[in-house]
Amino acid sequence: LSWFLNALHIALNGNKSPESSVIYRTFLGAMRIRTRKIPPVELEERQRSELLLTQEYQESVADSPFLYLTCDLPPPPLFKDEIMENIIPQVNLFTLLTKFNGETEKEYKTYKENFLKKFEITRLPPFLILYIKRFTKNTFFVEKNPTIVNFPVKSIDFGDFLTPEVKALHKSTVYDLVANVVHDGEPDKGTYRVHLLHKGNGKWYEMQDLHVTDILPQMITLTEAYIQIYELKKEETPKSAS
């Protein structure tokens, strides 16, 4: 997804400027990332305390653009229910989005070092892409997380995850879902479907290959959403009394 959007941006003669291509004007947002290194757990408390005072272990702050937000799913349950069927877990989209409220810390591990990061959205784009991370790779194979994400189709307020100062800089922070990409089946042999909102008639359609059918908005929320696109709602001008 990142490669595709950046390739389109470059093909349109885009550069680092947020206004340099229709891709950046449409999808580019900004966030502030706070990172701090974690001392090795095997060290004694005194050594850990000394390391935390060094420059290497001080919190760093960086501003970064983004074309989409990566939402991390919780691990699926390892056990089956009483009738030996796999439990299909569910999670609310708002729970996933707390990753970007500037307060939630998430641990990232590399081969040698561990870090804690906080993500704070500082600018919302006109169209917001959410990438729901369903696939994880290990040494031998790819695993798919089947967790169902519960999400509203209309009027989701991303301002709930902004600081008051940042929210005040936005005229509107309410979005409507306009596209939903679904992955069905196993990681290595699954299929894709896409749900699209027809802005002209307000109806939702499901597309898979050459097949196009109507679908109710309520059914969209029951799918294994993979990529979603939300459109910023424009502020409605109050009608004057006649």
Domain residue limits, the chain:
2-232
Neighbours of 161 (CB within 10 A): 23
The torsion of the CA quartet 176, 220, 27, 133, rounded to 10 degrees, works out to 130
Local confidence band at 153 (pLDDT 50, 70, 90 cut-offs): very high
pLDDT at residue 55, as a whole number: 78
pLDDT at residue 242, as a whole number: 37
CA distance 27 to 124: 9
Highest mean predicted confidence (pLDDT) among 6-10, 39-43, 52-56, 204-208: 204-208
Q: What is the pLDDT of residues 51-79, one digit of tens each?
A: 777 777 788 999 999 999 999 999 877 66
pLDDT at residue 201, as a whole number: 93
pLDDT at residue 237, as a whole number: 42
Class of 2-232 per CATH? alpha beta
Mean of the pLDDT values across residues 23-36?
93
Local confidence band at 107 (pLDDT 50, 70, 90 cut-offs): confident
CA distance 194 to 179: 7
pLDDT at residue 45, as a whole number: 75
Local confidence band at 83 (pLDDT 50, 70, 90 cut-offs): low
pLDDT surpasses 90 at 2: no
Local confidence band at 190 (pLDDT 50, 70, 90 cut-offs): confident
Helix (H) or strand (E) holding 76: none
Q: Which of 11-20, 120-129, 151-160 has the lowest mean pLDDT?
A: 11-20
Mean of the pLDDT values across residues 72-89?
70
Q: Which residue has the higher pLDDT, 6 or 126?
A: 126
Q: Per 3-state DSSP, what percentage of the chain is helix, strand, and coil (rounded to 5)?
A: 20, 40, 40
Cβ-proximal residues to 214 (8 Å cutoff; 6+ apart), any chain: 203, 204, 205, 206
Mean of the pLDDT values across residues 216-236?
90
CA distance 119 to 212: 38
